[in-house]
Structure 1
Amino acid sequence: MKARIYCPSKSVTQSGSRGSDKWVLEYEPAGQKAVETLMGWTGTKDALQQVKLSFPSQDEAEAYAKRKGIDYDVKPQQSRRVRFQAYADNFK
């Protein structure tokens, strides 16, 4: 059972940064998805793929994983490059 801990980026469709300060622990898939023969649906028997736990900080997410004995990988938080541009700069 392996998990990854990361800080999700802000939503592309919104200008705000709501929810981008939380850290998420989610389990990596244990097996491949299979196509169900009768209906043709894609599914898996791994219920942990549906679990996403959120934490206020990276340290708390790591502490949880250590306490539960979960192997984990931490993906560093990516910084956002903000570029200020005036509307008039489009016509230079």
Structure 2
Amino acid sequence: MSSARIFQRPKNAMQSGRARTMIWVLEFDPAEPQRPDPLTGWAGSRDTRNQLRLTFPTLEAATAYAEKEGLPYHVVPAPERTLKLQAYADNFR
């Protein structure tokens, strides 16, 4: 049985706001390695669980789902936000 990973999405570098960063995501770890298809050369596997990405409003809801389904899981803590305080005048130094 494959395990699951629960995490919060970090803010994308192309985003100015923090939309969808408070959502918790449950993602399954790959059960088997990907291998190239002999005909096309594309990487893939028969494991379809790695295509699933479940979203939850809170960490408690995500862990409750994993426990209800009997999934082993690990929680990846959200990265700490660091503020880069800079004055407009610093651009002209």
TM-score greater than 0.5 by the shorter chain: yes
Runs of 5+ consecutive residues of structure 2 not aligned to the other structure: none
Cα offset, 1:79, TM superposition: 1.8
Cα offset, 1:70, TM superposition: 0.3
TM-score by length of structure 1 reads 0.94
Q: Counterpart in 2 of 1:27?
A: 28
Q: After alignment, is 61-70 or 76-85 more displaced?
A: 76-85
Q: Counterpart in 1 of 2:65?
A: 64
| Corresponding pairs, count | 92
Question: Aligned partners of 1:78, 1:39: CA distance in 2, in Å?
Answer: 38
Runs of 5+ consecutive residues of structure 1 not aligned to the other structure: none
Cα offset, 1:77, TM superposition: 1.7
Question: Aligned partners of 1:65, 1:89: CA distance in 2, in Å?
Answer: 48
Question: Aligned partners of 1:50, 1:24: CA distance in 2, in Å?
Answer: 13
What code does the residue aligned with 2:28 have? Y
What code does the residue aligned with 2:77 have? P
SS of equivalent to 1:90 = helix
Cα offset, 1:91, TM superposition: 3.1
Question: Aligned partners of 1:59, 1:31: CA distance in 2, in Å?
Answer: 28
TM-score by length of structure 2 reads 0.93
Q: Over aligned residues, Cα RMSD in angstroms? A: 1.0
Establish whether residue 53 from structure 1 lines up as the match of residue 54 from structure 2. yes
Within a 5 Å distance, the mapping from 1:74-89 to structure 2 comes to 74-89=75-90
SS of equivalent to 2:19 = coil
> Equivalent pairs: percent with the same residue?
41
Instruction: Provide runs of 4+ in structure 1 moved above 6 Å.
Output: none
Question: Aligned partners of 2:28, 2:39: CA distance in 1, in Å?
Answer: 28
